[in-house]
Structure formats: structure tokens, C-alpha cells
Structure 1
Amino acid sequence: MPLTFRKSFRILPGVRLNINRRSVSFTMGHKGGPKRTVSSTGRRTTSMDLPGPFGYRNTTTRSSRRRARRADRD
């Protein structure tokens, strides 16, 4: 079983600082409303809980950082 680390701090009402072993991210938004997350890895996520079993999530990743990582691996 792998070891994981994740910690979340509330900075201001509606703003959280999330830390895990690979990145740091900020989440802005309130419960039940739209949320925007920006990560140090370049991932940007917009999400919203909708009534019932529905939800919305859109994730984008900066391509320049992804390309640089691929080049490092080769």
C-alpha cells in the first residue's frame, strides 16, 4: 500500500491551500457553488456540484510544462 500525503488549509472564507507530495494548489469557491482550482503543476480545474447525481468538471493542463517533462524523460 503506497503512502500518501495531503493537507488542506483554509486561508480565507472560500479559499483553500492544498498541499500534497507532488504539488501545491489553491481552490477558490464556496460549497455548492462553482470552484476553481489552480495547481503548481499547471492543472486548472473548474467544477460545480449540481442537484442529484450530477456534477460538472473541466480540467485543462498547460502544454508547455507537459512538453518539458516529456523531454526530460527521454
Structure 2
Amino acid sequence: MPLTFRKSFRILPGVRLNINKRSWSITTGGKNGPRQTHSSTGRRTTSVDLPGPFGWRRTTKRR
């Protein structure tokens, strides 16, 4: 099993800095409501947790 590195820091309420081996990202939003994630690789993700086992996610990549 390979080792992985991932760390998340809370910068401000509702803002997190996520760091892994290859990139970093900033996530805004909380557990309740929509979240926006912007990655250093150009990926942007919008996600929402819905009641029950449901959720919605949309990811776009820089061309």
C-alpha cells in the first residue's frame, strides 16, 4: 500500500487550505450549503451535500 500525504488547515471560518503531494487548493463554504474548491492545477469544483445519501458535484478543468 503506497503512502500518501494530505493536510488541511483552517485559515478562516469557512476557508480551508488543502495541501497534498502534487498540488494545493482553497475551499470556501461550510458543511451546510455549497462549497467552491479552486486547485493550483486549474480544477474548479462546486459541490453541495443534500439530505440523506445524496450530493451534487460539478468539476471543470482549465483547458
Opposite residue 14 of structure 2, the aligned amino acid is G
SS of 2:59's equivalent?
Answer: strand
Name the TM-score, length of structure 1 as normaliser: 0.83
Q: Which runs of 5+ in 1 are unaligned?
A: 64-74
Equivalent pairs counted in the alignment come to 63
Q: 2:29 & 2:3 partners in 1: Cα distance?
A: 29
Richer in helix (by share): 1
* Structure 1 residue ranges (4+ consecutive) displaced by more than 6 angstroms after TM superposition: none
Richer in strand (by share): 2
Opposite residue 46 of structure 2, the aligned amino acid is T
Structure 2 equivalent of residue 24 of structure 1: 24
Name the TM-score, length of structure 2 as normaliser: 0.97
Cα deviations by residue, 1:46-67 (Å, 9 ceiling, x for unpaired): 000001111000000001xxxx
Q: Which runs of 5+ in 2 are unaligned?
A: none
Larger radius of gyration: 1
Q: How many percent identity over aligned positions?
A: 78
Cα RMSD of the aligned pairs, angstroms, is 0.5
